[in-house]
A and B are shown apart, each in its own frame.
Chain A
Amino acid sequence: MDITFILINALVVACIYGLVAVAVSITWSSLGLINLGYGFVFSFGGYGAYVVSKNLIDHPIAVALAGILFGALGGIIICALVFIPLHDKKNFTTRGMIATLAISLVGSQALLMYFGPRAKSLPELFGFWQVRLGNIVLTSDKIGIVVCSIAMLSVVIFWMQGSRRGLEIRAMMMNPHAASIVGIGIRSTGFYVMALTGAMAGLAAVLLSQTYFISPFSGLTPLIKGVSIALCGGLGSVRGAVIAAIILGITEAATSRLLGGQYVLITQFLVIISILIVRPRGIAGLLDKGREQ
């Protein structure tokens, strides 16, 4: 009972963090931008959903859509403020990273000033029901979180595989220079990518708000976890991010069962460091050829 409970919790959290991880991963590999502003996008999406549920309608689907839309908007803001002006400048990677950090500082402070320090909560999106499998009880929010994040990931993967825009993004991942030569606009693709990944972060915010509250700095933990998972899985690889999310989820579950909750991060980081020492580009990352930027 205990271990399955922890495992299910780990799976649920890994699903949410996995969304952020895939977002970080796609942004880095297609745009070459290390976006540490997802913490802000996360909070922005959460607050957007909160404002909609408070003032307009609190239908679950509408709230989730609001989160996704505001997340996408946050992504577009970052793209317009950071990627568009900086992408062809000197030291783009360093400056891009610092600029996204600055946006996250400014944005979080602005949210703090506007909404105040008190945490907000969203309505229950998935109702109150539970499924009993043998002696395992699955509550509605856990099933909802897992189903929603897997659905979102599948939609993103199918869109990336099947659509024209997805093809453009994949071409940018392979070779941004060649992609721009054959007529794929770097800037327009930047907007698609940032809107898409922002939407993923926004959904993650709505899903995480089923367990935690929304606050101006609530995006920090998902960001750091997401970045760690993306790093461990190999930046640019969705498959690697999924594998890494599972490995880290299992590590978290095993540590809290065997050693205690306060050692979770330590064991996780030991796992990440040991994986990275063996494979410096992550589990599924390209070992010999990093993205040239």
Chain B
Amino acid sequence: MSDNSTSKDKYFWHNPLAVWDTKGRKGKVESIPVPDPATAWDNHKQYKIKTYKLGRLKHYHIWANHGERTWKRIRWWPTRRNLLNIRGKYNRKTLIAEKKIMDRRPIYWVLCLFILAIAPFLFPESMQNSLLTAGAVFGIFAAINVCWTLVLGTASIFSLASYAIVGVAAFITSWLSIQYGLPWWYLPIVGTAIGFAFGGIIALPAMRLDGFYYALLTLGLNELCRVYFTTSKQFGSASGGLYGASTYINPDWAPYTQSLVSYYGAFALLIASLFLFRFTNGKRLGRILKMAPEKREAFAEACGVDYRQARIRIFLITSAALGFIGGFYAAHYRGVAFSIFSFDTVLLGLAMLAIGGIGKAEGAILGTLVVVFLDKILIEIGPIRHLMIGTIMFGAVLFLNNGFFGIKQQFNAWRDKKRGEWRSARTEKGGEALPEEATEIDDKDRLYMKRFDKVQRDYLKTLITPQIMEEHRAQPLGQHSEALERVLLYFRRAEMDDKYALHRDGPTGHYKLIAFSGNRGVSPRVVDDKEYDDVDEAYHAVFVRRVHDLMES
């Protein structure tokens, strides 16, 4: 800029008409160099705040593709379902055909389950026994939590009685096994029936009660089961539990084989529960209920969705599955302890779901992994581990909308919010239309005109200097320097409403400044009561006023 100002002093404009008629006119006036208007546009398009590079890093592999190969896919025989959701597309820059995996979750599932499947062979020798035991606990609890997720997430029934169903089934099957010598493979089957029946009883109030009323009721039901089974004579009130049921783990095997069999038994149970989740949540029942989320039931009902029946069905299916898990539990541990009914078990279960995220199978499994790791493997650090679990659960609930697997969604929502804030921070309102205004204006040319006008005015403001004011005062009409000419051209092009003009009272009267109304038939208004004798003086007054308006805008 300093460069400009020094050159301003040296810059003169020579009037080309001075050769013919220079009477009263100057042949040479002091003027300013005119910058390129494109610089105003460049300035306008630059961000005033710090900006970052657009787009995102590619953090996944893009597979090469060919038009023909797009539809050659691996399918689940005999359906036409794909193994992976793959889309063929063309790179927008290079136009090279690419294949993109739209949903990579199946890959992660397979990888994680594979790691779980080979985990016993990766455990360090010294901790093998405790890790295998913890792994079995993890499998069973993860299976229970996956089923619970079906109730909480898919059916939106806030039931806290899942462990109670497992416990009741486990106790009754253990008792049957001890009393009548049921073999171990009967226990899950009998447990299924018990779970179904018990689920049917506690589903009755669920038909009438809403979410949290039901949660409080089931909390009480849990306590009821605990007190009943603890105090009853048949279920062994003295020994802290009921033990002696038949088991699938042969006591004659080597201890390592026993641990291994129990680990893989629990793992198989987890896989089965995941299949149940997939075929309930992902099929008809789950899809019906996706249409009827909490507080939008009325709409779903109006569309003909019987959401109550669907919820109760899922509840019953899950109860039967939980009963199966209860029978398996009895066959796994040769019985069951009263601690399955304790408030702490429900709390830990809820902690598992809250950490991972309610409503997602992966959330249930991750939460179970975290809590079982803290609870069963770090057993030597004592009661502080419950404190840690509680703190993690509290933190997860406090900072995350929906547990660990809700982080992505929450982060995206936060980023969108921040993007909006940043955009509004760098948007200047100077005659331009804001995006929300722009949708209201039908003629999109006007939008561009507004933008153009703003940049034009910004540019012309840089041209207004004492030199060109003086030049105009000396010679309002005729040829001018480039700077003044650009300003005058802009003024002449202005819209008719509030455009300044001169009014003369008769052929010899004074000149007065008026402004057009812009509407046909509506007379112009008088701007001020100042009168001018000379027309050039009046022209200059109009110019000054327009410059004033320009600088104010």
Contacts and interface: CB of A to CB of B under 8 A. Distances in A.
Interface in A90-107: 90-91, 93-95, 97-99, 101-106
A108 to B, nearest CB: 9
A135 interface: no
A146 to B, nearest CB: 24
Nearest to B209: A280
Interface stretch (B11-19, B84-92, B210-218): B210-218
Nearest to B217: A231
Contacts of A217: 343
B374 to A, nearest CB: 12
Given A109-B386, A281-B213, A102 B351 contact: yes
Interface size class of A (residues with CB under 8 A): 35 or more
B389 interface: yes
Interface string B443-458: 0000000000000000
A221 B224 CA distance: 11
Interface size class of B (residues with CB under 8 A): 35 or more
Contacts of B347: 101, 104-105
B168 interface: no
Interface string B376-403: 0000000110110111011001100110
Interface in B492-519: none
A101 B216 contact: no
B384 A235 contact: no
A86 interface: yes
A276 B343 contact: no
Given A98-B393, A276-B205, A109 B213 contact: no
The secondary-structure label for the interface of chain B is helix
B209 A113 contact: no
A289 B30 CA distance: 81
B391 A86 contact: no
A93 B212 contact: yes
Interface stretch (B59-67, B101-109, B226-234, B242-250): B226-234
A272 B220 contact: yes
Contacts of B205: 273, 276-277
A255 to B, nearest CB: 13
Contact of A228 (B204, B220, B228, B398): B220
B394 A113 contact: no
A94 B224 CA distance: 23
Contacts of B221: 269
B393 A105 contact: yes
A34 B208 contact: no
A220 B343 contact: yes
Contacts of A99: 394, 397-398
Given A269-B224, A272-B217, A106 B394 contact: yes
A290 interface: yes
Interface string A251-278: 0000000000110011001001100110
Contacts of B383: 109, 112-113
Given A34-B216, A272-B217, A277-B205, A102 B397 contact: yes
A94 B157 CA distance: 12
A279 to B, nearest CB: 9
Interface centre among A91, A98, A113, by most chain B C-beta atoms within 10 angstroms, is A98
B220 A98 contact: no
A59 B43 CA distance: 79
A185 interface: no
Contacts of A94: 158, 358
B216 A227 contact: yes
26 contacts: A36-B219, A81-B394, A85-B398, A89-B401, A91-B401, A93-B212, A94-B358, A95-B398, A99-B397, A99-B398, A101-B393, A102-B394, A104-B347, A105-B347, A106-B390, A106-B394, A109-B384, A112-B383, A220-B343, A224-B219, A224-B220, A224-B223, A231-B216, A266-B224, A276-B208, A276-B213
Interface of A: 34, 36, 81, 85-86, 89-91, 93-95, 97-99, 101-106, 109-110, 112-113, 217, 220-221, 224, 227-228, 230-231, 235, 261-262, 265-266, 269, 272-273, 276-277, 280-281, 290
